Amino acid sequence: MSENTPITVAYGDGIGPEIMQATLDIIKAADAKINIEVIEIGEKVYNRGNTEGIEPSAWNSLLKTKVFLKAPITTPQGGGFKSLNVATRKTLGLYANVRPCVSYFPYVQTKHPVMDVVIMRENEEDLYAGIEYRQTDQVMQGLKLISLPGSEKIIRYAFEYAKANGRKKVTCFMKDNIMKFTDGLFHRIFDKVGAEYPEIEKESWIVDIGAAKLATSPELFDVVVMENLYGDILSDVTAQMTGSVGLAGSANIGDNCAMFEAIHGSAPRRAGQNSANPSGLLLGAVMMLAHINQSDIATKVHNAWLKTLEDGVHTYDIFREGFSKEKVGTKEFAKAVIARLGQKPTTLKPVEYHDFDVSMKPYYDYKNSPKAKKELVGVDIFLHWTAGTADELGKLVENISDESLELVSITNRGVKVYPGGLSETFCVDNWRCRFIANEKITKHKNIIALLDKFQKAGFDFIKTENLYTFDGESGYSA
Ligand code: NAD
């Protein structure tokens, strides 16, 4: 018999302790081979003045066990508190958020009786890098960062997950018709990594029409992979479409650590009443068991849970008069699942988990891959300026051009306003002046000289962005 796997458990706030107890009772009854280390997180820790909601000793446990089963916590109202979820994801490098969204019709009412979709959300990059600036009186900026390794990790995870779980298709959502560099990269990596999985069907959709299709015909989708922001929105939409957000669990996976939870919050008003539905956390725990290579236990628990649902033993949130057989509390629900361990559902589809090595195929070798020939060909200089029209700005900037760098255009919110702009274009106080090297390549010192001229002419330059080519290909949007 194999050794027990150490896991870190947090009972959380609100309904957290009740649903965690129910979850642990069930998986222990199913013979999960785990050693539990309990840590305290959330409200009590925040209220002790710790703005992170977690003590250093708790991090030690997480870094040691590398497996975290987490009940929901209450985030205190008011500013100054950091999101524990964001901190956990970033500190433990949890790059993949996995959220299976399944319909349990007719036991749970839904407009989409046939639905079994896994939303695979990139968890570390995109606009969530949190790099934001106020640049002028009128303009704020947030940077969308998409990296090659970050995209490869989540996309490869999506394909490996599909392969291990008998899934047939992986769909990619992005918007590379507009964001040619960021989303274009994500799409290219999807095609490249996807080619290594010939047995899996591949499909790409522009996120808007893809989301519309997902919302109306979820039965056409299987695993759907996307960047952080799209995934944030669509994982909630998709979970809601199943009829109950209370039933979904999620996994946050990293190369070395993983966190498992319910997708709902701590429902403080329900706390201490033995009424909350533990299913979301239980399904999170089931994903954990599969992750720690106890797929047989995961399968046993999940099928017993499906049978309980099918037998009409329901907590208040899904109970329907005349349809459900028995309205139960949290503890009684757990007992009902335990009583059905070893049974399979008969109308709902039984599940089967397989052990799945997250270390996966090795990533591309970024360190040793050939580097592109990178050449500095120009610079965008952003100005905070309110003293006149686009034409007037153009004339002023023409005057201060450097001999090696030539002003080619001025844009405002991405619209060209000089030369040859339209007076109808609405302009804000943030202008981008694009300079291109007249001898194809320039040097950093030319850019510094140019900036010096801007400063002497009294301009407030708020940012510069160097323009490069990579192996002759433009590295900036036109
Ligand atoms: P919530 O998910 O806690 O509750 C929304 C509604 O769903 C409530 O009506 C609640 O009673 C019901 N509900 C939720 N879980 C249920 C369950 N298991 N069984 C039965 N009914 C359930 O969302 P909220 O009210 O917006 O947030 C409450 C607190 O939870 C906030 O402090 C919020 O910050 C926190 N939160 C934490 C997490 C997390 O820890 N991962 C996630 C979301 C919200």
The residue whose CA has the least distance to atom 21 of ligand 1 is 276
**What is the per-residue burial (b if ≥16 Cβ within 10 Å, else e) of 404-414?**
bbebebbbbee
**90: pLDDT confidence band, cut at 50, 70 and 90?**
confident
The residue whose CA has the least distance to atom 16 of ligand 1 is 246
Q: Which CATH class is domain 1-92+255-369?
A: alpha beta
The residue whose CA has the least distance to atom 9 of ligand 1 is 267
Return the CATH architecture of domain 116-241: 3-Layer(aba) Sandwich (3.40)
Q: How far apart are CA 227 and CA 146, in angstroms?
A: 8
How far does residue 44's CA lie from ligand 1's centre (Å)?
17
Q: Mutation test of ligand 1: which of 54, 252, 264, 269 has the most ligand atoms closer than 8 Å to its C-beta?
A: 264
Cα 228 from chain centroid? 4
pLDDT digits (tens, 9 = 90+) for 390-446: 999 999 999 887 778 999 999 999 999 999 989 889 999 999 999 999 888 899 999
CA distances from 135 to 130, 276, 378, 411 (A): 15, 47, 22, 16
Rounded percentage of the chain residues whose pLDDT exceeds 90: 83
CA distances from 458 to 163, 363, 383, 451 (A): 60, 49, 11, 11
How far does residue 79's CA lie from ligand 1's centre (Å)?
20
Would you say 194 and 94 are in contact if contact means Cβ atoms under 8 Å apart? Answer: no
pLDDT digits (tens, 9 = 90+) for 236-263: 999 999 988 889 999 999 989 999 999 9
Query: Where are the CATH 3.40.718.10 domain residues in the chain?
Result: 1-92+255-369, 116-241
Rg (CA), the chain: 27
Atom nearest to 316 CA in ligand 1: 20
Q: What average pLDDT does this structure show over 200-229?
A: 98
Assign 3-class secondary structure to 275-336: CCCCHHHHHHHHHHHHHCCCHHHHHHHHHHHHHHHHCCEECCCCCCCCCCCEECCHHHHHHH
Longest Cα–Cα distance in the chain = 83
pLDDT digits (tens, 9 = 90+) for 172-185: 999 999 999 999 99
Least confident stretch, 14-23, 210-219, 399-408: 399-408
Return the CATH architecture of domain 374-474: 2-Layer Sandwich (3.30)
Atom nearest to 276 CA in ligand 1: 19
User: Quick one: pLDDT at residue 244?
Assistant: 83
Rounded percentage of the chain residues whose pLDDT exceeds 70: 99
Q: What average pLDDT does this structure show over 110-135?
A: 93
Q: What average pLDDT does this structure show over 154-183?
A: 95
Query: Where are the CATH 3.30.70.1570 domain residues in the chain?
Result: 374-474
User: Cβ < 6 Å from ligand 1: which residues?
Assistant: 15, 19, 72-75, 85, 246, 261, 264-270, 276-277, 280, 317
Q: Mutation test of ligand 1: which of 81, 260, 266, 273 has the most ligand atoms closer than 8 Å to its C-beta?
A: 266
